[in-house]
């Protein structure tokens, strides 16, 4: 079950955190994985680490907010054969409310988290249509569904990802394209460790415990748990699923209300 043999997958932001976990799960399931990453060194390192017994991973340096650059990379991938899976995972975070979020902050988050998803959809969907279908998985967040304090711009972008997911599923269901999204709660990634080190020096352990406790299940998710859900949703076993958001949040949405 959950084999991706003979599949080609694109994972944006696929060299760290949740994206790396997804790239790993897909490569181990047999897919040819194309990692799209802003940081060239990080992309090459991840690809090198993942290439092993039977795995195939290629790295591409691209800024997803730049449409021409995205199109050039995806055109190049498509020239090598069908694209079966697109995972829109690349994203950035921001802390602030409607008053403290600057125009520059809003533009920056929109460019990556919303326009970046659109750019990849716009470039990839024509190839999927021509090849008789495909699977698209977008990375949303619990912030798309419930209010999170001081996450004004971030929540806005993830709400847009959720609605883009539903719209793409609606528009392309007859072309054999499935589109779903995942909404993680807090996940223990290098970003979390960096955030705590920057904002709470000397209090990292205490703040990590507080953040973990906000999840009713009592801990943060592991990136590989998100990767496992992504693998299922992009596999043929999930062929009857489209237009759906999948919270993976330790009970955060339902049990905190």
Catalytic residues: 154
How far is residue 154's CA from residue 138's CA, in Å, rounded to a whole number? Answer: 15
Which residue do the tokens 């920056």 mark? 108
CB of 193 closer than 8 Å to CB of 182: no
Q: Do 179 and 117 meet the contact criterion of CB atoms below 8 Å apart?
A: no
Q: Which of 111, 135, 139 is nearest to 124 (CA)?
A: 135
């Amino acid at each position: 079950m959950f084999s991706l043999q003979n599949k080609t997958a694109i994972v944006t932001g696929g060299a760290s955190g949740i994206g790396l976990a997804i790239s790993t799960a897909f490569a181990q399931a047999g897919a040819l994985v194309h990692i799209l990453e802003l940081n060239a060194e990080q992309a090459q390192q991840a690809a090198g680490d993942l290439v092993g017994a039977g795995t195939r991973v290629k790295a591409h340096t691209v800024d997803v907010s730049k449409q021409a650059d995205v199109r050039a990379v995806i055109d190049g991938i498509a020239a090598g054969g069908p694209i079966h899976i697109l995972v829109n995972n690349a994203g950035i975070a921001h802390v602030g409310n409607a008053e403290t979020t600057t125009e520059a902050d809003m533009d920056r988050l929109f460019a990556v988290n919303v326009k970046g998803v659109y750019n990849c959809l716009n470039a990839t969907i024509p190839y999927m249509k021509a090849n008789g279908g495909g699977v698209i998985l977008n990375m949303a967040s619990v912030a798309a569904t419930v209010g999170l304090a001081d996450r004004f711009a971030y929540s806005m972008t993830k709400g847009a990802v959720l609605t883009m997911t539903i719209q793409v599923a609606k528009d392309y269901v007859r072309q054999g394209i499935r589109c779903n999204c995942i909404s993680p709660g807090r996940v223990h990634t290098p970003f979390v460790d960096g955030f705590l080190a920057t904002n709470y020096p000397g209090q990292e352990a205490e703040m990590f415990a507080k953040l973990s406790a906000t999840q009713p299940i009592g801990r943060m998710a592991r990136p590989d748990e998100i990767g496992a859900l992504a693998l299922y949703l992009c596999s043929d076993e999930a062929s009857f699923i489209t237009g759906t958001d999948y919270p993976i949040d330790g009970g955060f949405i339902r049990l905190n209300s």
